[in-house]
Amino acid sequence: MKSSSNHKKIYRLKNISIDEVAKSFQTLNVEGKLSDYEMESIPMVGINMPITDITYKGNDTNKHLSTLSDKFIYLIHLIRNRQIANGGNFAPFHSVVLEKIFGKDYSKMIRLLLKLNILQCDNYYQIGQKSYGFRFNDKVEFTYTYENPNYLSKYSDKAKKIFQNIQIQTEQENRKQLGDDSFYDRYNQSLSLLNLTHIDECREFLSLHHFINEHSKNYYYDIVDSYTSETPIITSIDKNKRIYSIATSTPRILKPFLNIKFSSDIHNSHPLLFNSILFDYFNVSLPLRKRLSLSFNILNISPYNVSRIIRKHLISNNIRREEIANIPNDVLAYLYITSIGKFWDCIIPSDCSDSLLLRSDIKVLMFAEVFYSKKLTTRGQKYAKIFKKQFPNVYKVVRKQKQEDRTRLANDMMRLESELFHQILTKLFNKRFKVISIHDAIVVLDVKTNSKCTVEVVKEIIQNVYNDRGLSPDISTDTYDATSTLANEATTNKLIESFMYRLEEGIAENDEECIELKSKLETSEIELLPNHDYTDVLIHPLNVKK
């Protein structure tokens, strides 16, 4: 924990009296209105629910009001704290844990907060897999105080012990999932050095930024609060060995305020990874894969309408005709344009020019429809149809990968990405560099030990690891500047406002894409970022572990 003193930070409701909440509990409890059956009438998830007025009668129970108030204070603090640590998302709480901390009244306390629309529940529970998740209504405002360590220790000591045990269990599960303790420790060591170095500038940015809604605003503030109160650690590792932490939940526009030296991203990362599946499907040997990748880097021909000429150019670059005889022209073209990082430039044609969406926005939709969709046809999928039209034989392979298991393709690609990036990180760790990953990017921290970790060093390692698999990545580098971000914030806000105006126009016309985009913006699945020259906004997915 990061702390400037021995005092504890306690989150409190800003405009709601905790004593009134406690008195309301006493009244409703006596009237039997906090029973299980009452849950059916309690609203669950709803972003814009109004806060219900709190009313209460006299004290009709033998519960001491101050004790009940303390319980509510710590329950609210606990949920708020864990919601922040979870990047503003629903924080799961096991009923056994809550009962150990608060006693059997915990369920009625939760029901009251739900009934008053102070709290929200995700209403999703799965035995042995998922506990109910809770977060506060976006209209609920918070403040905090720094209290003596003994304050609420009756509850905080229990919670600390329980959550320490849970953290140990979680870490054991993560290590088992990853299967490499040394890598896990080195990654966590690097991650622990990630911090918010431009705190004042970040606070100023938050005060200036145009947020889409209260949920978006709270999400950003929760991320910032997490950096200032917790030391980052690995939070989870999924079945494909993708690593999640506060870094994967951090909106890109907040990164200038972190101690990031630079990050190296792979252009059209997942479309490029699909090359490996295409190579396997057409039985392309590893030596030929490497020669093809080398040829792609030196062809220097236009990627547009390349299908009809790609074979000729490959043959002229010492690829024998018989070696690629069974590979269709559109597949060769796909391999070429993904290898030079031009997939998105070529795939989105003028058909889309009349859309509200920018080319960068369409990436999100096309990627979801082509590679991650569970559908086996293009029915009702505009961008999958565009892809199929340009690359019919590539799409045929996409479809075949999903026939037996419709999630197989997505999982195969994420698993391959994790494997490649773990190799890249290991090579960088071996050089004693402090680096982390955000799925398809290597993030180099601005710390003393990284003085010799240059863009050239990182690029060379990425290229070597990918080349060993017969893949040719096109790599870009991003640097971040807090001063520049602040200076351009007024322009960014105007761009966001303009985009939202156009989005609302599309929604008024029942445009399904616009309706879906707004929904994803409201739940922080995606964010709006300015493009490089601040002439428009683009859609960027948030890598949030749900």
pTM: 0.82
User: 145 CB contacts (<8 Å, ≥6 apart)?
Assistant: 9, 10, 12
Q: Please report the pLDDT score of residue 355 as a whole number.
A: 52
Q: Please report the pLDDT score of residue 369 as a whole number.
A: 74
> How many Å separate Cα 63 from the centre of its chain?
43
Q: Please report the pLDDT score of residue 543 as a whole number.
A: 59
How many Cβ atoms from other residues are within 10 Å of residue 239's Cβ?
9
Q: Please report the pLDDT score of residue 362 as a whole number.
A: 59
Bridge partners, residue 122, by sequence: none
Q: What is the DSSP string of 452-481?
A: T--HHHHHHHHHHHHHTTT----EEEE---
User: 280 CB contacts (<8 Å, ≥6 apart)?
Assistant: none
- Strands 260-266, 475-478: pairing is antiparallel
Amino acid letter for position 327? I
Q: Please report the pLDDT score of residue 127 as a whole number.
A: 67
Averaged over successive runs of 10 residues, the pLDDT of the chain (546 residues) comes to 64 92 90 65 41 51 77 94 79 88 91 92 74 88 89 92 88 93 97 96 94 83 87 92 91 93 91 94 96 90 89 93 95 94 73 49 66 68 82 91 82 92 97 92 97 97 95 93 94 91 88 82 80 82 57
Secondary structure class of 237 (helix, strand, coil): strand
Q: Please report the pLDDT score of residue 59 as a whole number.
A: 45
> How many Å separate Cα 222 from the centre of its chain?
14
Q: Please report the pLDDT score of residue 3 as a whole number.
A: 46
Q: Please report the pLDDT score of residue 229 as a whole number.
A: 81
d(CA 479, CA 81): 31
User: 124 CB contacts (<8 Å, ≥6 apart)?
Assistant: 130, 132, 133
The DSSP symbol for 369 reads I
Q: Give whole-number Cα distances, 414 to 124, 140, 244, 348, 371, in Å.
A: 26, 37, 13, 24, 11
d(CA 49, CA 392): 47
How many Cβ atoms from other residues are within 10 Å of residue 353's Cβ?
8
d(CA 341, CA 470): 15
